[in-house]
C-alpha cells in the first residue's frame, strides 16, 4: 500500500477498515500532523509573568519565533499546570495587541506620533536632567535633603528583580524618592 | 456485509480495531472529575492556544460565570457553572446566614467532545473527514471536510459544530497531534487541580470507580459517573465525567443514543463507498481547503 | 485562592484529598467557597473582630500551644506600666496625639531594668538605655513614613533585656494584656459585628484548634485584599497573633501565606521600588534624623539578632553603588543618598502632582488610571505633569487618558489644554529577556530569554541601563555637586546582542555581592562594615554563590526531596520556611514526628533536617549568651525568631506599628455600622486626604449616611489580571469575562429594581460607574445588629481601553490609607446602586455632586481622629 498513491477509497475497499471510518480515510494532513512541542528548535525555561505563584513555563521556539508556551512539569511549584492567564501567555507575548513602536504626544496635541527609539531615549534623559535641575532641593527647613520631588515612578511588581535594582539605583543616584510599585496598591 | 458490520460494532473495547488499525495503542480518553473542578477555565484557554481555535466574541451571558455558553466550532472545552440552593451540603446550622449562603452550591464542570464508542458523526460523514484514530478517538480532518454539515445533527450531545466563515465542522481532537508524540492534551496538561485527567481509558475507568466509591463513602450520594457505562446508548464515551448531580443540570443529555442506531446499520455509509467512487473522489478533493 | 491563584490552589486540593479541612472566610461565595468544606461569609471590613474572636476563644478555652507560646513568643515579657489599652481608653491606646494624628509609642515598650545588671555592667546598661531613648526619638520622627516596612525581614528595635514572667501570670505580661484586650471579642460580639452566626463561628474555632498543636498545623492563606483596609496591617497582625498562639509559625504546614498578585511583587519589595526602603529592607535615610552613617545605623540597628549587623549591610550597599568613591573617610558616600521627610507614597505623589511639585512621571508596567484608588484623581494628577513615560505592552488607560479618558467625556479636561508630553515605550515580554522573579514564597526563579524583543520593544533593564548611561554621559562634564552621585555611580554592565541588552546576570551578581577580589559572596554573614565587601541586597546574598546563578537551578521536583531545595533559590540563604527553629521544641527535638522539620543532632552537634536551618547551625539549644553579647551572638538557643530584636515572636508589638501594639476592630472609613466594641469608630491614625475629588461618607450616626446604604467590595476574577493590562487585550481571556459587571443578591435586585443582565449605576461621593448586573445568591446579605445589609461585588479589572471594556471600580474608591504601609481601603466601603446606565457628559459629575449634597458631605466629613461613631 505504501507504494501506491494515498487513495482513501481504494484503501477502504481492500483494507481492514471497510467502513471507511479509520485508517483507510486518514488524510494527508492527519498523517503528517506535527506537534509544536516536538518539532521546536529549542525549549527555553521560563516563569509565568502573571501572579506571584511562580509557575514554571516551557517556551517553545521555532525559526526564532515563540510558537508555544505551556507549563513546565519539572516545577515543584506548579507541576506543569497553568491557570487561564498563564495558558494565555502565548497570546500575551505574541498577540496583535502588543505595540512595537515608540509613540510620542506633544503638549496639547490631539494624538500620538511615532518616534524613533534613540531619539525618544535622548528626549527622556534631557527631561530627567531638566526637571531634576529645576526641582532640586539641597535643604528644606534647615534639613539636608539632597533630592528632587520633581520626578516620580510607579511600577516594578511585574518586572524582574534586576530591573527593579537598576531602577532604584538610578533613581536614588539622581535623587528621586517618590519611587513606588504595586506592592503598595 | 451487514453481518460483518454488526460484529465490528460489537467490538466495544477496540473501536480502533474496528476502524482498521492493527497493533494500535490502547484507547485513550479523558476522565473529567467535576468534584474537584474550580472553574478556572484554564482548559478553555489552553485548548484554544494549542489548537489555535478562534476567539468567538464577547458576550456577557449572565449564566453565572459562564460566558462561553457551550461547546461549538470555536469552543472545544467549555466550563459550565451552575448555582444551586440545596440542603445537606454545608449543614452547620439552620439560622439565617446558613440559609443565605451555606446551602448554596456552585457546580463547575468542564465539558468536551465525548469521543463516543459508537460515534454518529463518524457514521454519517460522507467524505471520510471524520476519522477514528488509532487511539480510538474521533477527529475531523480539516483537509477533507467539505462542510456538508451532516455530522452536526447526528451528534447526540450537540458537540460538533460548523464554523462561521469557514463552513467546516470542528471539535475537540483530544489533541491528536500531541498524543501522537506522547504528550497529553493541552487541557489536561493545564488543569490546576487534575479535574481533567488524560490516560488509557481502562485506567481512567479504574480511577473513576475508585473516586466514586470514595465520594459515596463520604456521603456524597449524588455523585455519579456519566459516559462510563459501555452499555449506554453510545457504547460508552472516550471522554467521561464524574458529576455531582443529574446530567441535565449540567446541560448533558441524560440518556444519549447514537443517532444512527436505527439506520439499517451502516448501509448508507457503505453504499456511498461502494457505489459512488467517482463522486467520492470529487467530494474529497473539493473538500480540501484552498482559501 | 482558587479565584486568584488556581495553580497554587492545587496544593489545597491535594491537602483536602488527604483529609485537610478547608475553611473559606470571605464576604462572597467564590470559586474557593465552592470546593471548601466550610464557607463563612462575613461583612466586609470586620476581619479583626472575627480573628480577635478566635483569639479570645483559644485563650478562654486554653486551646493555645502553651509550651510554644512561653518559649518562642513574647507572651511572658512584661510591658511598661505606662501602657494603657483600648480597654482603658475606649478604643484607643496610650500615646495618641490627636492633633498630629499619630501615636507616641513610648508607653508600649517592654519593661526593663527590674533585673539589675551585674556589677560592672551597669554603665553599659545605662549607655544602652540612652541609645534606646535616642532610637525611640528617631522612630517617632519617622512615623507616617511607612517606616514599619523596614522591618519587612525582621523586627524593630527593642531592648534585648526585657523582664519576663515565665508563668505568664503577671497582669503586665504580654499574654495577660492580650487576654484582657480580646476578652470582649466574644462569639456574640462576632455575630453582631461580622454577621457570622455563633454556631458557625464556634465550628471554625474548634476546627482550627483541633488542627493545631504538636501533631498538627494549620495555615492561613490570604490574597492581598486583606491588606487593602485602613487597618490592613493589623488584619495580618491578628492572624499572626492567632497563629503564634496555636504554634503554627516556623513549622511545616503552618504559617501565614500572602498570595501576591504580580510575578515579582515580592522581589520589588525586597529590592524595593518603594519610597521608604533601600534594598534588603534598609530604610531610606530620614531628613534631619539620619544625618550621617553613624546616626543612621544607631537609629536602626538592634542589639540582638541579625539586624545587629546592619552597618555591614549598609556599607556593602554603598560600595555596590559608588564603588571606589565610597571610602571610610567619606562615610562610604552615605551623603549621596536622598532623604525622605514624610510619606512619599504613590498616593502622596498624586497629591504632589496635583499641586505641581512633581512634574515628571514614569509608569512602568502599572495602570494607575484603572488600578489605583480614586482613578479620577490619578488622571487629574497626570494631567498636571510636564512629562509622562509609560512602558507597557499596549496602549493602556494610563497612556491615553489625555485623549479618551472619562474626564474628556465629562468635560472636566480638554485635550488641547493638557500640556503633558507623553512617551509610550513598548515593553519586552518575559520571553524576550533574562531575569529573575521572586515569587510569593520568597523564591527567586530565573526566566531565560527565548528570543530578542521585536522592533522597538525593550526590556526595562535595557531602558533603565541606557537611560542611566545617557544621563551619566550628559552630566559627565558637570561640576555641580548635585551631579556627583550620578557621576560616581557604578554603571558598568556588559551588554550583549544587536540591541545592546545589558546582562541581567551581571546585575544579579552585583545584587548577590562580592568581596574585595570580586569573588561572589555566599552568605550575608560575610558582609563587612570596613568597605571590603559590596552587595546590592544583603538578603539576596547567596543567590549567585560560587558564581552560579542559583535562581536558574531547575532540578525536577521528582528528583529531590519534598522541600525541593534545588529548584530556584529562596532568600534568606535558600531557606524555604523561615524561623524554622520553631519547628523543634526548646530542647531541639521535633514537636512531633509527624511535623519534624529541623532538629538538633547531638552526635554532629548541629542542626539538621529537611531545610536550611534558620539558625546558627552550631548553636545548641542550651546556648545562653554571655552578658554584653550583641547582634546574633546575643540570641540564645531558644530564640527562633532571629531577625527580631529579642529573638521572640511578638504577640504584642512594642514598637514598629503606627496604630497600636495590638489589633483592635475599627469600622472601615465608609461603613453603615457604628463600632459595637468601642466609642472609637475608625482607626484614629488612618491617613485621609481632604480633596474635593476624594470626599468621604458620613458616619453611621449622621443623617446622610443612609444615602450610601450598601457595602461595596472590589476583587479580582480568575480570568483577568489586576488593572487588565495583561488580560483585557487578550481575546482568549477577554471572551471569558467580557465586560464590567456587578454582583448583587436577588433581594437587592428586587429592592432596587435591578434586572439580571441589565445595567446598574453605582455611586459614591467620589464617582459614578455603570456595570452589567449579575444577580446571584452568591452575594449573600448579612444580618448585623438586626439589620440585613447587602454587599455589592465589583471586579476591578476594567477600564475604557482594550478589547474587553468597562468602567473602573476604582472610580468609586476613596484614597484612605492604612497608616503603616499606606495601602488604600478598597475592600470595604459604601455606595448606592440604581438601575440603568450612568449619565453621560457633565451630567455624571452633577450626579456625584448631587449625592454629596444629599448626604451633607463637607471637606471634614469622616476625617475625625477621635470618636466618630
Question: Which residue in chain A is spatially nearest to B275 when comparing CA positions?
Answer: A9
Does B92 reach chain C within 8 Å, measured CB to CB? yes
pLDDT at residue B290, as a whole number = 43
**Mean pLDDT for the stretch of residues B6-26:** 73
Which value, to the nearest 10 degrees, does the dihedral of the CA atoms of residues C333, C335, C341, C345 take? -30
In angstroms, rounded to a whole number, what is the distance separating the alpha carbons of residues B203 and B29? 10
Name residues whose C-beta falls within 8 Å of residue C458's C-beta, 6 or more positions apart in sequence.
Answer: A117, C425, C426, C427, C428, C499
Res C393 pLDDT > 50: yes
Contact C735 B193 (CB under 8 A): no
Contact A19 B141 (CB under 8 A): no
> Residue C23 has which C-alpha cell?
475553611
Give the minimum alpha-carbon distance from C447 to chain B in angstroms, rounded to a whole number: 19
Res B276 pLDDT > 90: no
In angstroms, rounded to a whole number, what is the distance separating the alpha carbons of residues C446 and C505? 10
The label of the residue with cell 552526635 reads C603
Interval C651-700: pLDDT, tens: 999 988 999 999 999 999 999 999 999 999 999 999 999 899 999 999 99
Q: For chain B, how big is the Rg over CA atoms in Å?
A: 20
Contacts B105 to C, Cβ<8 Å:
34
DSSP state of C694: S
Interval A135-177: pLDDT, tens: 999 999 999 999 999 999 999 999 999 999 999 999 999 999 9
ipTM of model: 0.96
Which value, to the nearest 10 degrees, does the dihedral of the CA atoms of residues C366, C368, C373, C375 take? -160
**Backbone φ and ψ of C224, nearest 5°:** -75, 5
How many residues does this entry show for chain A? Answer: 185
Res C817 pLDDT > 70: yes
Does A90 reach chain B within 8 Å, measured CB to CB? yes
Domain ranges of chain C: 9-208+216-259, 267-339+492-552, 687-854
What does pTM read for this prediction? Answer: 0.94
How many residues does this entry show for chain B? Answer: 291
Res B171 pLDDT > 90: yes
CB distance C436 to C267 below 8 Å: yes
CB distance C156 to C655 below 8 Å: yes
Using alpha carbons only, give the angle C123, C129, C130 rounded to the nearest 5 degrees: 90
Interval C130-179: pLDDT, tens: 666 666 666 667 777 777 777 655 556 666 678 899 999 999 999 999 99
What domains can be seen in chain B, in order of their start residue? Answer: 2-286 (3.30.70.20)
Name residues whose C-beta falls within 8 Å of residue C453's C-beta, 6 or more positions apart in sequence.
Answer: C428, C429, C432, C433, C459, C499
Give the minimum alpha-carbon distance from A160 to chain B in angstroms, rounded to a whole number: 25
> Residue A11 has which C-alpha cell?
484503501
Q: Of C60, C65, C71, nearest to C245 (Cα)?
A: C65
Residue ranges with strand state E in chain B:
28-33, 77-85, 104-112, 130-132, 138-140, 161-162, 169-170, 196-200, 224-226, 239-243
Q: Of A106, B208, A145, nearest to C335 (Cα)?
A: A145
User: Is the model more confident about B185 or about C121?
Assistant: B185
The label of the residue with cell 504584642 reads C652
Contact C197 B56 (CB under 8 A): no
Contacts B96 to C, Cβ<8 Å:
197, 783
Name residues whose C-beta falls within 8 Å of residue C368's C-beta, 6 or more positions apart in sequence.
Answer: A154, A185, C346, C375, C378, C382, C398, C723
CA C655 to chain centre: 17
> Residue A125 has which C-alpha cell?
534623559
**Mean pLDDT for the stretch of residues B186-209:** 98
Tell which of B11, B25, B45 to mutate to test the A interface (max A CBs under 10 Å): B45
Contacts C197 to B, Cβ<8 Å:
93, 95-98
CB distance C720 to C370 below 8 Å: no
Interval B42-83: pLDDT, tens: 999 999 999 999 999 999 999 999 999 999 999 999 999 999
Q: What is the CATH number of domain A35-121?
A: 2.20.25.90
pLDDT at residue A2, as a whole number = 41
Against chain A, the chains showing at least 3 CB pairs within 8 Å are: B, C
> Residue C164 has which C-alpha cell?
519576663
Alpha-carbon distance values, C506 to C416, C511, C718 (Å): 45, 9, 36
**Which percentage of chain C shows pLDDT scores above 90?**
90
**Mean pLDDT for the stretch of residues C527-542:** 98
Interval C481-521: pLDDT, tens: 999 999 999 999 999 999 999 999 999 999 999 999 999 99
**Which percentage of chain A shows pLDDT scores above 90?**
82
Name residues whose C-beta falls within 8 Å of residue B10's C-beta, 6 or more positions apart in sequence.
Answer: none
What residues pair up with C688 in beta bridges, in sequence order?
C816
Alpha-carbon distance values, C87 to C195, C486, C685, C855 (Å): 23, 53, 18, 33
CATH class entry, domain C9-208+216-259? alpha beta
Domain ranges of chain A: 1-33, 35-121, 128-185
Contact B49 C732 (CB under 8 A): yes
Least confident of B84-88, C357-361, C414-418, C467-471: B84-88
**Mean pLDDT for the stretch of residues C389-408:** 98
pLDDT at residue B193, as a whole number = 98
The label of the residue with cell 544621563 reads C471
Question: Which residue in chain B is spatially nearest to C4 when comparing CA positions?
Answer: B40
**Which percentage of chain C shows pLDDT scores above 70?**
95
**DSSP, residue by residue, C435-477:** EEEE-TTSEEEEE---SPPPTT-B-HHHHHHHHHHHHHHHHTT
Tell which of C9, C13, C34 to mutate to test the B interface (max B CBs under 10 Å): C34
**Mean pLDDT for the stretch of residues C338-364:** 97
Give the minimum alpha-carbon distance from A15 to chain B in angstroms, rounded to a whole number: 7
pLDDT at residue C137, as a whole number = 67
Interval C446-481: pLDDT, tens: 999 999 999 999 999 999 999 999 999 999 999 999
What is the distance in angstroms between the CA of the first residue and the CA of the last residue of chain C?
Answer: 34
In angstroms, rounded to a whole number, what is the distance separating the alpha carbons of residues C534 and C315? 8
Domain C687-854 has CATH 3.40.50.300: no
Contact C418 A77 (CB under 8 A): no
In angstroms, rounded to a whole number, what is the distance separating the alpha carbons of residues A110 and C173? 66
The label of the residue with cell 536550611 reads C612
pLDDT at residue C418, as a whole number = 98
Query: Residue B90 burial by CB count (10 A; 0-12/13-18/19+): exposed, middle or buried?
Result: buried
Res B92 pLDDT > 80: no
Which among C6, C732, C783 is the nearest to B192, CB-wise?
Answer: C6
In angstroms, rounded to a whole number, what is the distance separating the alpha carbons of residues C392 and A159? 11
Amino acid at each position: 500500500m505504501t507504494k501506491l498513491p494515498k487513495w482513501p477509497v481504494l484503501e477502504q475497499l481492500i483494507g481492514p477498515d471497510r467502513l471507511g471510518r479509520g485508517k483507510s480515510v486518514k488524510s494527508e494532513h492527519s498523517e503528517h500532523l506535527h506537534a509544536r512541542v516536538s518539532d521546536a528548535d529549542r525549549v527555553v525555561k521560563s516563569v509565568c509573568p502573571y501572579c506571584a505563584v511562580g509557575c514554571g513555563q516551557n517556551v517553545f521556539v521555532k525559526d526564532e519565533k515563540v510558537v508555544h508556551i505551556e507549563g513546565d512539569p519539572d516545577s515543584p511549584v506548579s507541576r506543569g499546570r497553568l491557570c487561564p492567564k498563564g495558558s494565555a501567555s502565548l497570546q500575551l507575548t505574541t498577540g496583535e495587541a502588543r505595540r512595537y513602536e515608540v509613540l510620542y504626544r506633544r503638549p496639547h496635541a490631539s494624538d500620538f506620533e511615532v518616534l524613533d527609539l534613540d531619539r525618544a531615549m535622548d528626549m527622556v534623559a534631557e527631561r530627567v536632567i531638566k526637571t531634576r535641575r529645576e526641582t532640586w532641593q539641597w535643604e528644606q527647613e534647615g534639613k539636608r535633603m539632597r533630592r528632587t520631588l520633581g520626578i516620580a515612578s510607579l511600577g516594578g511588581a511585574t518586572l524582574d528583580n534586576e530591573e527593579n535594582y537598576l531602577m532604584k539605583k538610578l533613581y536614588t543616584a539622581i535623587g528621586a524618592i517618590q519611587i513606588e510599585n504595586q506592592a503598595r496598591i | 456485509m451487514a453481518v460483518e458490520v454488526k460484529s465490528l460494532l460489537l467490538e466495544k473495547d477496540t473501536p480502533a480495531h474496528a476502524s482498521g488499525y492493527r497493533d494500535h495503542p490502547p484507547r485513550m480518553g479523558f476522565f473529567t472529575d467535576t468534584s474537584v473542578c474550580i472553574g478556572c477555565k484554564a482548559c478553555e484557554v489552553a485548548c484554544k492556544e494549542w489548537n489555535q481555535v478562534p476567539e468567538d466574541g464577547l458576550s456577557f451571558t449572565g449564566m453565572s460565570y459562564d460566558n462561553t455558553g457551550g461547546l461549538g466550532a470555536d469552543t472545544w472545552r467549555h466550563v459550565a457553572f451552575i448555582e444551586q440552593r440545596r440542603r445537606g451540603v454545608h449543614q452547620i446550622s439552620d439560622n439565617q446566614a446558613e440559609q443565605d449562603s451555606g446551602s448554596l452550591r456552585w457546580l463547575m464542570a468542564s465539558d468536551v467532545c465525548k469521543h463516543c464508542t459508537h460515534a454518529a458523526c463518524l457514521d454519517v460523514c460522507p467524505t471520510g473527514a471524520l476519522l477514528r484514530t488509532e487511539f480510538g478517538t474521533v477527529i475531523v480532518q480539516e483537509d477533507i471536510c467539505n462542510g456538508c454539515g451532516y455530522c452536526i445533527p447526528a451528534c447526540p450531545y450537540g458537540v460538533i459544530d460548523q464554523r462561521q466563515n469557514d463552513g467546516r465542522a470542528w471539535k475537540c481532537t483530544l489533541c491528536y497531534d500531541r498524543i501522537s508524540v506522547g504528550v497529553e492534551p493541552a487541557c489536561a496538561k493545564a488543569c490546576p487541580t487534575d479535574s481533567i485527567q488524560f490516560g488509557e481509558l481502562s485506567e481512567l475507568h479504574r480511577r473513576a470507580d475508585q473516586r466514586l466509591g470514595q465520594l459515596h463513602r463520604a456521603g456524597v450520594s449524588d455523585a455519579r459517573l456519566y459516559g462510563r457505562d459501555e452499555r449506554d446508548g453510545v457504547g460508552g464515551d472516550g471522554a467521561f465525567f464524574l458529576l455531582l448531580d443529574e446530567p441535565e443540570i449540567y446541560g448533558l443529555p441524560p440518556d444519549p443514543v447514537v443517532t444512527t442506531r436505527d439506520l439499517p446499520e451502516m448501509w448508507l455509509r457503505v453504499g456511498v463507498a461502494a457505489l459512488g467512487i467517482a463522486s467520492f473522489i470529487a467530494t474529497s478533493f473539493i473538500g480540501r481547503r484552498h482559501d | 485562592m482558587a479565584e486568584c491563584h488556581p495553580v497554587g490552589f492545587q496544593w489545597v486540593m491535594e491537602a483536602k484529598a488527604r483529609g485537610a479541612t478547608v475553611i473559606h472566610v470571605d464576604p462572597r461565595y467564590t470559586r474557593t467557597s465552592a470546593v471548601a468544606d466550610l464557607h463563612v461569609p462575613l461583612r466586609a471590613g470586620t476581619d479583626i473582630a472575627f480573628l480577635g474572636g478566635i483569639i479570645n476563644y483559644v485563650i478562654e478555652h486554653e486551646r493555645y500551644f502553651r509550651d510554644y507560646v512561653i518559649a518562642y513568643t513574647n507572651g511572658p515579657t512584661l510591658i511598661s506600666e505606662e501602657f494603657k489599652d483600648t480597654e482603658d481608653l475606649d478604643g484607643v491606646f496610650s500615646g495618641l496625639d490627636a492633633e498630629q494624628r499619630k501615636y507616641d509609642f513610648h508607653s508600649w515598650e517592654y519593661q526593663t531594668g527590674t533585673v539589675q545588671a551585674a556589677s560592672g555592667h551597669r554603665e553599659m546598661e545605662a549607655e544602652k538605655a540612652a541609645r534606646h531613648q535616642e532610637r525611640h526619638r528617631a522612630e517617632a520622627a519617622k512615623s507616617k513614613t511607612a517606616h514599619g516596612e523596614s522591618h519587612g525581614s525582621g523586627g524593630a528595635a527593642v531592648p534585648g533585656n526585657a523582664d519576663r514572667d515565665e508563668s505568664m501570670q503577671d497582669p503586665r505580661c504580654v499574654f495577660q494584656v492580650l487576654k484582657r484586650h480580646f476578652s470582649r471579642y466574644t462569639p456574640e460580639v462576632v455575630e453582631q459585628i461580622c454577621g457570622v452566626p455563633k454556631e458557625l463561628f464556634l465550628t471554625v474555632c474548634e476546627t482550627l484548634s483541633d488542627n493545631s498543636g504538636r501533631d498538627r498545623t494549620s495555615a492561613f492563606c490570604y490574597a492581598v485584599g486583606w491588606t487593602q483596609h485602613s487597618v490592613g496591617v493589623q488584619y495580618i497582625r491578628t492572624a499572626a497573633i492567632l497563629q503564634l498562639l496555636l504554634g503554627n509559625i516556623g513549622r511545616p504546614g503552618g504559617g501565614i501565606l500572602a498570595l501576591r498578585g504580580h510575578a515579582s511583587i515580592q522581589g520589588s519589595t525586597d529590592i524595593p521600588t518603594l519610597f521608604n526602603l533601600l534594598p534588603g529592607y534598609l530604610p531610606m535615610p530620614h531628613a534631619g534624623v539620619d544625618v550621617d552613617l553613624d546616626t543612621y545605623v544607631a537609629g536602626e540597628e538592634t542589639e540582638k539578632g541579625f539586624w545587629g549587623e546592619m552597618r555591614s549591610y549598609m556599607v556593602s550597599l554603598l560600595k555596590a553603588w559608588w564603588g571606589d568613591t565610597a571610602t571610610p573617610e567619606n562615610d562610604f558616600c552615605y551623603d549621596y543618598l536622598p532623604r525622605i521627610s514624610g510619606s512619599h507614597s504613590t498616593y502622596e505623589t498624586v497629591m504632589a502632582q496635583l499641586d505641581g511639585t512633581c512634574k515628571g512621571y514614569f509608569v512602568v508596567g502599572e495602570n494607575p488610571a484603572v488600578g489605583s484608588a480614586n482613578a479620577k484623581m490619578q488622571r487629574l494628577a497626570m494631567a498636571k505633569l510636564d512629562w509622562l513615560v509609560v512602558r507597557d505592552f499596549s496602549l493602556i488607560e494610563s497612556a491615553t487618558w489625555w485623549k479618551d479618558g472619562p474626564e474628556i467625556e465629562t468635560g472636566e479636561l480638554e485635550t488641547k489644554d493638557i500640556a503633558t508630553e507623553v512617551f509610550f515605550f513598548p515593553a519586552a515580554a518575559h520571553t524576550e529577556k533574562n531575569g529573575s522573579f521572586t515569587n510569593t514564597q520568597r523564591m527567586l526563579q530565573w526566566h531565560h530569554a527565548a528570543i530578542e524583543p521585536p522592533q522597538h520593544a525593550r526590556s526595562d533593564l535595557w531602558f533603565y541601563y541606557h537611560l542611566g548611561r545617557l544621563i551619566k554621559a550628559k552630566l559627565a562634564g558637570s561640576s555641580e555637586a548635585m551631579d556627583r552621585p550620578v557621576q560616581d555611580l557604578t554603571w558598568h554592565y556588559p551588554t550583549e546582542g544587536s540591541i545592546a541588552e545589558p546582562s541581567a546576570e551581571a546585575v544579579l551578581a552585583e545584587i548577590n555581592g562580592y568581596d574585595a577580589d570580586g569573588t561572589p559572596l555566599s552568605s550575608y554573614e560575610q558582609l563587612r562594615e570596613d568597605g571590603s565587601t559590596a552587595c546590592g541586597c544583603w538578603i539576596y546574598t547567596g543567590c549567585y554563590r560560587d558564581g552560579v546563578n542559583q535562581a536558574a537551578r531547575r532540578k525536577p521536583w521528582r528528583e529531590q526531596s519534598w522541600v525541593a531545595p534545588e529548584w530556584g533559590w529562596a532568600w534568606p540563604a535558600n531557606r524555604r520556611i523561615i524561623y524554622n527553629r520553631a519547628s523543634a521544641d526548646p530542647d531541639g527535638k521535633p514537636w512531633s514526628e509527624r511535623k519534624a522539620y529541623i532538629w538538633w543532632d547531638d552526635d554532629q552537634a548541629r542542626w539538621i533536617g529537611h531545610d536550611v536551618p534558620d539558625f546558627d547551625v552550631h548553636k545548641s539549644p542550651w546556648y545562653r549568651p554571655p552578658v554584653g553579647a550583641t547582634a546574633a551572638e546575643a540570641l540564645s538557643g531558644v530564640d527562633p525568631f532571629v531577625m527580631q530584636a529579642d529573638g521572640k515572636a511578638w504577640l504584642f508589638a512594642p514598637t514598629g506599628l503606627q496604630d497600636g501594639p495590638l489589633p483592635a476592630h475599627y469600622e472601615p472609613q465608609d461603613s453603615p455600622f457604628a463600632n459595637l466594641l468601642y466609642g472609637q469608630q475608625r482607626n484614629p491614625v488612618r491617613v485621609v486626604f481632604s480633596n474635593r475629588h476624594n470626599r468621604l461618607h458620613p458616619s453611621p450616626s449622621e443623617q446622610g449616611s443612609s444615602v450610601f446604604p450598601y457595602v461595596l467590595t472590589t476583587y479580582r476574577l480568575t480570568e483577568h489580571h489586576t488593572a487588565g493590562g495583561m488580560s483585557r487585550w487578550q481575546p482568549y481571556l477577554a471572551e471569558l469575562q467580557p465586560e464590567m459587571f456587578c454582583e448583587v443578591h436577588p433581594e437587592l435586585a428586587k429592592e432596587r429594581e435591578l434586572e439580571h443582565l441589565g445595567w446598574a449605576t453605582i455611586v459614591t461621593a467620589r464617582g459614578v460607574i455603570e456595570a452589567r448586573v449579575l444577580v446571584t445568591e452568591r452575594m449573600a446579605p448579612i444580618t448585623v445588629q438586626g439589620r440585613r445589609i447587602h454587599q455589592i461585588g465589583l471586579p476591578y479589572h476594567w477600564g475604557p481601553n482594550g478589547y474587553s471594556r468597562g468602567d473602573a471600580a476604582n472610580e468609586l474608591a476613596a484614597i484612605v490609607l492604612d497608616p503603616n504601609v499606606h495601602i488604600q481601603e478598597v475592600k470595604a466601603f459604601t455606595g448606592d446602586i440604581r438601575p440603568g446606565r450612568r449619565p453621560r457628559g457633565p451630567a455624571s459629575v452633577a450626579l456625584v455632586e448631587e449625592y454629596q449634597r444629599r448626604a451633607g458631605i463637607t471637606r471634614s466629613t469622616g476625617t475625625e481622629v477621635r470618636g466618630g461613631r
